[in-house]
């Protein structure tokens, strides 16, 4: 119902690069997280031409996400250079990760015997009282990015469909800074396209509290997911793939691309979307909205009408609705009652292209 496809031989991305060179697959963790390269003998860098990266058993110690529209608004208010202000927040994220890493190094293997003593994690064959620091060397720590669409609009009143040049420069700048932090700290930092399940609402609320309602920036109840086009953009599936593929190489710590389709009777269309995504080197998710009545089992077919809150057959408000929340299937409503936060429900309501 929510198929996902991972390109191994496409034109871009670390997953395709690694598969082509080493014949190894970087499998996504949950909905979008990917590991960076860590070599069996050389660690951060290959010991020689025969050294190979390892991914199985490695893990991530956490993501801290930037509120980029708020950082730009603060720079404008203070009449400061955006990148100067951004540097301050990047350093804050860096300090949080270094603090987390230092805290974890003092934990003992007995706190999780399966992971640290019985081989559950890469290198996890420690003795009971050993500190787990050796296992952390290959772990990643992520700098999260969300709301690039709103950042672009705040910058020049254009969406990433209409422009995108500024936010591409920002994503590249953050990657350069994060790479430098990794070189200095010897922590495997990565840049992550934040899924923003509840953060989409928290971030926009923080923005409003400080800077108020700004059209197409903070006038909705949510910020956009990572580098994605706004969900309300009326664009084709192929266009959405092409717009978002521009950002692919800047988010090696976590990324996914979605397209929305009707209930998939059009097999040729689905094949075209997946084939195009695989050529581009994407991790592709197909989104389908479904609904059925818990009283009479009427099923809405997603064609030719809006999804009903009230069953058109029996008149009961007991519709169960199923959507992709961010990276996984979610019951938007069960027996007519919502299970998700208000911000995410507002985003789901506005969806046209996602």
Going by C-alpha positions, the residue among 148, 179, 332, 343 that lies closest to residue 252 is 179
Pairwise CA distance, residues 287 & 269, whole Å: 13
DSSP classification of residue 253: T
Task: Dump pLDDT digits (tens) for 223-271.
Answer: 999 999 999 999 999 999 999 999 999 999 999 999 988 766 788 888 9
Residue 1: is its pLDDT beyond 60?
A: no
Q: For residues 138 and 134, what is the distance between their CA atoms, to the nearest angstrom?
A: 8
> How high is the pLDDT of residue 327?
66
Rounded CA-CA distance 344/323 in Å is 11
**Read out DSSP for 16-81?**
HHHHHHH----PPBTTTB-----BTTTBTS-SSTT--B--TT--EEEEEEE-HHHHHHHHHHTT--
Of residues 182 and 288, the one with the higher pLDDT is: 182
* Whole-number pLDDT of residue 231: 93
The burial class, CB within 10 Å (0-12 / 13-18 / 19+), for 347 is buried
* Cα separation values, 69 from 134, 211, 245, Å: 38, 10, 21
- Three-state DSSP at 152 gives helix
- Amino acid 354: pLDDT: 78
- Per-residue pLDDT of 169-217, as tens digits, reads 999 999 999 999 999 999 999 999 998 889 999 999 999 999 999 999 9
How deeply is 86 buried, as exposed, middle or buried, from its count of CB atoms within 10 A (0-12, 13-18, 19+)?
buried
Rounded Cα gap, residues 323 and 348, in angstroms: 8
What's the pLDDT at 179? Answer: 97
Q: How far apart (Å, rounded) are the C-alpha atoms in residues 262 and 299?
A: 14
Backbone angles phi, psi at 91, to 5 degrees: -65, -35
Confidence at residue 154, expressed as pLDDT on a 0 to 100 scale: 98
Query: How much is the pLDDT for 304?
Result: 62
For residues 140 and 253, the answer to whether their CB atoms sit within 8 Å is yes
For 82-137, what is each residue's pLDDT tens digit?
Answer: 999 999 999 999 999 999 999 999 999 999 999 999 999 999 999 999 999 999 99
Mean pLDDT value across residues 45-65: 95
Residue 279: band (very low, low, confident or very high) from pLDDT cuts 50, 70, 90: very high
Percent of the chain with pLDDT over 70: 97
pLDDT at 138 over 70: yes
**To which H or E segment does residue 349 belong?**
helix 342-350
Look at 69-78, 319-328, 343-352 and tell me which has the smallest mean pLDDT.
319-328
Q: What is the pLDDT of residues 326-343, one digit of tens each?
A: 766 778 888 888 878 899
């Amino acid at each position: 119902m929510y198929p996902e496809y991972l390109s191994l031989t496409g034109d871009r991305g670390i997953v395709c690069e690694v598969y082509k060179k080493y014949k190894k697959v970087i499998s996504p963790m949950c909905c979008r997280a990917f590991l960076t390269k860590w070599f069996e003998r050389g660690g951060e860098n290959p010991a020689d031409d025969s050294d190979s990266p390892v991914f199985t058993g490695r893990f991530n110690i956490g993501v801290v996400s930037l509120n980029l529209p708020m950082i730009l608004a603060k720079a404008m208010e203070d009449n400061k250079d955006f990148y100067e202000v951004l540097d301050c927040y990047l350093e804050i994220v860096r300090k949080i990760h270094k603090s987390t890493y230092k805290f974890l190094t003092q934990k003992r293997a007995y706190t999780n015997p399966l992971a640290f003593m019985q081989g559950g994690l890469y290198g996890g064959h420690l003795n009971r009282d050993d500190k787990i620091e050796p296992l952390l060397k290959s772990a990643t720590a992520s700098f999260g990015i969300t709301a690039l669409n709103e950042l672009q609009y705040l910058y020049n009143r254009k969406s990433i469909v209409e422009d995108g040049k500024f936010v591409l420069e920002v994503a590249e700048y953050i990657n350069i800074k994060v790479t430098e932090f990794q070189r200095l700290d010897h922590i495997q930092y990565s840049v992550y396209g934040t899924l923003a399940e509840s953060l989409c609402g928290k971030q926009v609320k923080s923005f409003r509290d400080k800077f108020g309602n700004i059209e197409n920036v903070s006038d909705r109840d949510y910020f956009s997911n990572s580098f994605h086009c706004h969900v309300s953009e009326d664009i084709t599936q192929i266009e959405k793939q092409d717009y978002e593929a521009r950002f692919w190489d800047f988010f090696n710590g976590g990324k996914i691309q979605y397209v929305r389709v009707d209930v998939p009777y059009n097999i040729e269309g689905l094949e075209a979307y997946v084939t195009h995504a695989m050529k581009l080197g994407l991790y592709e998710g197909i989104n389908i909205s479904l609904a059925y009545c818990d009283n009479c089992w009427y099923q809405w077919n997603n064609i030719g009408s809006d999804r009903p809150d009230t069953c058109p057959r029996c008149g009961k408000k007991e519709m169960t609705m199923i959507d992709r929340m961010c990276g996984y299937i979610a019951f938007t409503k069960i027996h007519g009652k919502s299970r998700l936060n208000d911000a995410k429900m507002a985003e789901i309501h506005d969806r046209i292209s996602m």
